[in-house]
């Protein structure tokens, strides 16, 4: 029974994957239609999975509140605001003034603050690099970061001096030649890794859907 169910799931996943993949390479009308249909189903399933994920989110936090685990007041707040937003959205629609207000004056500022926090974290990480990893790569990384920063930011004085123009030119050379070449090399490696990962799923060697 166990082996049977595993074979069925693996065959369905492999067959579906091959059909979708071939639809990208072989321009046969039937194959293209099947590919588009399967992708539409995947989008619908992903939307349903989001609902299940939200239910899972509620279950995790409800369990924390009922067990009075560490940090349970945060979980209680999350449940409260989750339900308030959900009920308002379901009753009055996503364009309701209060829902938009919550989005505009709560979610957007918090996300912007987190992004600002990233700048602080990066600055601290820059100092930490020198403390923890004093190797050639880290020194090069920090040197290039400083060069790009100085070459991009407006200078408070002598902005049109020979030195400022030279730094700006060096920055452009580093980002357009060296950084672009490096990024393309990394992207090539990432693409190769992504292909082998996909093929392992197609071969049912990796089975993220379980057995």
Partner 1 sequence: MTGLDLLGLAALVLFLVSMLFYASAGRRWPVVFRPLAGLDALGEAIERAVEDGKRVHLSLGTGSVIGSDSAPALAGLATLSKIAAITSMSDKPVVATTGDGAMALLAQDTLRTAYDAAGARGRYEPTSGRLLGPSPFSYVATLPTMLDTEDVAVHLMVGSFGVEGGLAADFGERQNALVLAGTDDVQSQALLYAIAEHPLIGEEVFATGAYLDVSRLHRASLRAQDAIRFLLVVGILGGTLLMTLGLWP
Under the rule (CB under 8 A), what is the footprint of partner 1? 21, 24-27, 39, 42-43, 45-46, 49-54, 56-57, 59-60, 63-64, 69-71, 74, 78, 107, 110-111, 114-115, 117-118, 121-122, 125-126, 128-129, 132, 141, 145, 183, 185-190, 192-201, 203, 205-211
Residue 91 CA, distance from chain mean position? 31
Q: Which two tokens stand for residue 60?
A: 């995790």
- Select 157 or 205, whichever has its Cβ closest to partner 1: 205
Query: Least separation, in Å, of the C-beta of 46 and partner 1?
Result: 5
Q: Across 96-171, where does the E strand assignment appear?
A: none
Query: Least separation, in Å, of the C-beta of 111 and partner 1?
Result: 4
**What are the angstrom distances between the C-alpha of 58 and each of 89, 96, 110?**
17, 24, 21
Query: Least separation, in Å, of the C-beta of 156 and partner 1?
Result: 26
Residue 89 and residue 96 in contact, taking contact as beta carbons nearer than 8 Å: yes
Residue 86 and residue 99 in contact, taking contact as beta carbons nearer than 8 Å: no
- Select 100 or 110, whichever has its Cβ closest to partner 1: 110
By CB atoms closer than 10 A (0-12, 13-18, 19+), residue 10 is: middle
- Select 125 or 177, whichever has its Cβ closest to partner 1: 125
Query: Least separation, in Å, of the C-beta of 84 and partner 1?
Result: 15
Contacts of range 182-188, beta carbons closer than 8 Å, 24 or more positions apart: none
- Select 67 or 165, whichever has its Cβ closest to partner 1: 67
Query: Least separation, in Å, of the C-beta of 70 and partner 1?
Result: 4
Q: Is the dihedral of CA 28, 33, 39, 45 positive or negative?
A: negative
Query: Least separation, in Å, of the C-beta of 77 and partner 1?
Result: 11
- Select 18 or 166, whichever has its Cβ closest to partner 1: 18
Q: Which two tokens stand for residue 84?
A: 């308030």
- Select 47 or 153, whichever has its Cβ closest to partner 1: 47
Place of tokens 């700048």: 119
């Amino acid at each position: 029974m166990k082996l049977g169910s595993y074979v069925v799931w693996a065959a369905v996943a492999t067959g579906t994957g091959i059909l979708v993949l071939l639809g990208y390479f072989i321009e046969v009308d039937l194959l293209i239609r099947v590919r588009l249909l399967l992708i539409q189903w995947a989008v619908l399933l992903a939307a349903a999975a989001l609902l299940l994920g939200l239910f899972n989110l509620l279950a995790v936090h409800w369990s924390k509140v009922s067990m009075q685990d560490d940090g349970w007041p945060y979980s209680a707040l999350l449940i409260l605001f989750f339900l308030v937003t959900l009920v308002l959205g379901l009753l009055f629609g996503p364009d309701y003034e209060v829902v938009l207000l919550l989005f505009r004056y709560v979610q957007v500022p918090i996300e912007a603050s987190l992004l600002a926090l990233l700048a602080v974290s990066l600055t601290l990480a820059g100092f930490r690099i020198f403390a923890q990893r004093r190797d050639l790569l880290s020194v090069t990384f920090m040197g290039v970061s400083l060069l790009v920063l100085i070459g991009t930011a407006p200078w408070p004085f002598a902005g049109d001096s020979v030195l400022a123009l030279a730094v700006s030119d060096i920055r452009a050379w580093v980002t357009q030649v060296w950084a672009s070449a490096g990024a393309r090399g990394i992207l090539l490696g990432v693409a190769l890794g992504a292909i082998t990962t996909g093929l392992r799923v197609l071969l049912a060697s990796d089975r993220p859907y379980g057995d």
